[in-house]
Amino acid sequence: AQKVTQAQTEISVVEKEDVTLDCVYETRDTTYYLFWYKQPPSGELVFLIRRNSFDEQNEISGRYSWNFQKSTSSFNFTITASQVVDSAVYFCALSGGYTGTASKLTFGTGTRLQVTL
């Protein structure tokens, strides 16, 4: 069975601070995909990034960066110089790479990020 753990329920930071959201996953698939989604107060899930299990290269997109480490089964997300608009619930998710597992996303319970002035 697949499992995603986001141990941080809620994080509060002051604007311009850096913040890292943790994600740990469990899967028996050798091919799998990891995702981060943002859910702002409006409620719609917004796709941020997808990584496959064969690509451990870290990725940076503007103020966002992701650190994928297979050795620790982690896929952490860092926001640099946080802004109030970053306030949202962030979900890490996992899907398998094979028929029967590829189509279900397994989500963590989310981390609520509150950025204040």
Partner 1 sequence: GAGVSQTPSNKVTEKGKYVELRCDPISGHTALYWYRQSLGQGPEFLIYFQGTGAADDSGLPNDRFFAVRPEGSVSTLKIQRTERGDSAVYLCASSLSPSGTDTQYFGPGTRLTVL
What is the b/e burial string over 16-55, where b = at least 16 CB atoms within 10 angstroms of the residue's CB?
eeebebbbbbebeeeebbbbbbbeeeeeeeeebbebebee
**End-to-end CA gap in the chain:** 41
User: Looking at 14-22, 35-43, 55-63, 76-84, which segment touches partner 1 (CB under 8 A)?
Assistant: 35-43
Binding mask 45-64 for partner 1 (x = CB under 8 A): xxx--x-x------------
Which C-beta is closer to partner 1: that of 54 or that of 81? 54
**Beta carbon of residue 81, minimum distance to partner 1 (angstroms, whole number):** 26
Contacting residue, 23, 79, 88, 93, with partner 1 by CB under 8 A: 93
Footprint of partner 1 (CB under 8 A)? 4, 31-33, 35, 37, 42-47, 50, 52, 91, 93, 95-97, 100-110
